[in-house]
Chains A and B, each alone.
Chain A
Amino acid sequence: MRRTLHIARMVFYKELTELLRDYRTVLISIGVPLVLFPALVLVLSVNITRAESAFESGIRVGVVAHDHFDLHDYFAQQELISVQSLSDVAAGSESLAAGDVSTVVISRQWGGAGGPGADAGAGVTLLYDNTDLFSQAAAEYLGALLSAYSDGVRSAQIAELGLSPDSLATLQVELLGLHDPSRSAGTLALSFLIPVLMLVSAALGPLASAADLGAGEKERGTLEPLLGTGASRSALLLGKFGACSVMGLLGMLAFFAGAGLAYLIGPGVFGSDELQFALGPGTVALLVGFAAATVLVLSSLELALSFLARSAKAAQTYFIPVLILSSAAGYGTYMINLEALPLWHYHIPLFNIALILKATVLGRLSLVPLLVTTGWILLYVTCSLAAAHNLLRHEAALRRG
């Protein structure tokens, strides 16, 4: 046992040294996760800024107005809006398609003919390009303006009747959250983001290393001399598993560092500048522990698949379902109510880990699901390593692709 651990340590140091000397592995495992989110956020921020600038420079609105409403004058008085009168709906569609206007406002007369849905009664139709985000945003903005306009008209009409507009007010509903709204929104966002990010990064982090340490050894012809030494298969496997897991953890760390950096670069992209991502030290410690466990599960699985494959290329093909399942497990926790969740959900591989991560973020971790999932994690790692060990013992391990 002592000799096995000694050799495993030697294999671990050697594999880690070799992996860290390979700039491609470092780039894929650590570099890409580190810059992925900041790069995405930068691109999105640039696009958001561009869209905001476009809004600020003005929205071109086409109006097909009938006499009943003074829409043309109303929009002409608004800031940021330039109005163009159009003769009919067909002309409006043409202008929209040509990009001359962002949205076309069509007023409908009482029971009259005047555009799409004209027989539906009085109202306004907003015609916009639903394949263009700017046109969509402009339509939403105009919709809000029209609601305010409608309220104004209604109030004036009620006042003309000698009534107070407040006398027709309906039931006022107020939503009051239990927790600080900005903080609870942040926690809610994290309870979705952390399971997804952690599972995806745990699957991506060890990927390049696992491919290199298993199938890569076969491909380079280094597995044969390695298996020809006096070292036991268990020692070789333990060392490789350790190196692969460390690379996975570094990858995950890079992923979260990248996500944090992205938030600092462009918080608006995350939905609100006001979100507070506050987690207590206990929760963070638990998450770190679960992160390590998740990496161990996926490293062992990917290493076993890598020994099954005859070439690094084949190994990468085997990894695709693992990546898809990990992402699906993370996304699967969205809209899940943990309180009402039957225990059998915690028997589903990977999904149980995602559920535990979500429960940890929300501070709703219960003992039984935790024990069930921990048991499964131990079983996954043991089974994967046993499978890898068995593959290494078999002479087919030497066959190359």
Chain B
Amino acid sequence: MTRLHVDQGPRRRYATQDVNATPAIELRRVTKCFSPSSPPAVTELEFSASPGEVIGMLGENGAGKTTTLRMIAGLIRPSSGQVLVNGYDTQREPARTRRSVGALFGGAVGLYDRLSGSENIRYFAYLNGLSGPDARRCTEELIELLEMQSFAERRVAEYSSGMKQRAALARALVHRPEILLLDEPTTGLDIGSALIVQQFVHRQKSAGKLILLSSHNIEELETLCDRVLIVHGGQLRHVARRDDTGGYDLRGLYTRTMESVR
């Protein structure tokens, strides 16, 4: 059983670097244990990623994908190791790193049912420090970008799951973060909504944002991602990259990786 370490890059000292040379995300031997009696959710995970990349995370349920994303978002602390966002430690500079990150977590999208979609988006704009006019402008732009005009003023309680997912995406993006963490963003969506989300990811990549995307959908990862991290049991098992033709054999790679670790 081999653990692969990828894209480690030169070790940087905390907040002393030229920001342009700093990876947008850097995980240094990150381990997360939720309780002493259970095995670690993530074990010595290391990778880094740069702006303009779309990185996929592929693995079974409980592989550690969501835990990794939550640690990058600063919602949970690593038990050991370091998570750096734009060179800043998420534990030492939580407010600064959170402003650089927009996150959408799987399961419940976490919108306020009794507010409209636009009110939800605007509220998060304020919480992320945008002023009134800025918040309104950004909200309107995102409503247009995610084709939400027809339902943005309705209360979220009346939304379908696709509408909710688009509103949640807009909310994650409203403060113009440089890094987007998307945890299974198309799970449970109809084909139309899934396509809108995928187009949205393409646009964000073109805008130079780093996107970290976890999914169970191999085709989606093949379409969207520059690299795919295959994780199992909280460890990084393999990094799949596009071949010379620009394609992937992600299914084959995943199957072989899983066979080797079982």
A227 contacts B by Cβ under 8 Å: yes
Whether the pair B114, A21 counts as a contact (CB closer than 8 A) is: yes
CA distance A7 to B132 in the complex (A): 12
The CA of A230 and the CA of B126, in the complex, are separated in Å by 10
B123, A10: Cβ atoms under 8 Å? Answer: yes
B75 within 8 A of A: yes
Which of the candidate stretches B80-88, B96-104, B218-226, B252-260 sits at the interface with the other chain? B96-104
Residues of chain B contacted by A232 (CB below 8 angstroms): 95
Other-chain residue from B75, B103, B109 in contact with A395 (beta carbon distance below 8 A): B75
* Interface residue? B115 (CB, 8 A): yes
Judge whether B103 and A225 touch: CB under 8 Å. Answer: yes
Residue contact A230 to B76, C-beta cutoff 8 Å: no
Pair B112/A222 contact, Cβ less than 8 Å = yes
A7 near B127 with CB under 8 A, answer: yes
Contact indicator B75/A230 (Cβ below 8 Å): no
Name which residue of chain A comes closest to B131, CB basis. Answer: A6
A22 within 8 A of B: yes
Contact B115 A17 (CB under 8 A): yes
User: Is B159 an interface residue, CB under 8 A from the partner?
Assistant: no
Chain B residue, CB-CB nearest to A219 = B108
Main secondary structure of the interface of A (DSSP, over half): helix
Contact with B along A172-211 (1 / 0, CB 8 A): 0000000000000000000000000000000000000000
CB of B95 within 8 A of CB of A14, answer no
Q: Does B161 sit within 8 A of A, measured CB to CB?
A: no
Are B114 and A230 in contact, with the CB atoms below 8 A?
Answer: no
Q: Are B108 and A398 in contact (CB under 8 A)?
A: no
Q: Return the contact of A230 from the options B103, B110, B115, B128 (Cβ within 8 A).
A: B128
State which residues 1-20 of A face B: CB under 8 Å.
3, 7, 10-11, 14, 17-18
Smallest Cβ-Cβ distance to A17: which chain B residue: B115
Q: Is B194 in contact with chain A by the CB < 8 A criterion? A: no
- State whether A10 and B127 are in contact (beta carbons under 8 Å apart), knowing that A220-B108, A222-B110, A230-B98 are contacts in the complex: yes
Residue from A7, A223, A225, A231 whose CB has the most chain B CB atoms within 10 Å: A225
Contacts of A17 in B (CB 8 A): 115
Flag whether B148 is at the interface (Cβ < 8 A): no
B45 CB → nearest A CB, Å = 17
Q: Is A260 an interface residue (CB 8 A)?
A: no
Complex alpha-carbon distance, A398 and B77, angstroms: 12
- Docked-complex contact A224 and B124, CB < 8 angstroms: no
| Residue A162 interfacial (CB < 8 Å) | no
Does B107 count as interface, using CB distance less than 8 angstroms? yes
- Kindly list chain A residues whose C-beta atoms are within 8 Å of the C-beta of B168: 225
- The residue on A at minimum CB distance from B104 is A225
Interface status of A289 (Cβ within 8 A of chain B): no
B residues contacting A by CB (< 8 A) are: 73-77, 95-96, 98-99, 101, 103, 105, 107-115, 119, 123-124, 126-129, 168, 171-172, 175
Residues of A whose CB lies within 8 Å of any CB of B are 3, 7, 10-11, 14, 17-18, 21-22, 220-232, 395, 398
Given A17-B115, A230-B175, 17 more A-B residue pairs with CB atoms under 8 Å apart are A7-B126, A10-B126, A10-B127, A14-B112, A21-B114, A220-B108, A220-B112, A221-B108, A222-B111, A225-B110, A225-B172, A228-B73, A228-B98, A229-B98, A230-B98, A230-B127, A231-B127
6 contacts between A and B (CB under 8 A): A7-B127, A7-B129, A11-B127, A14-B123, A228-B73, A395-B77
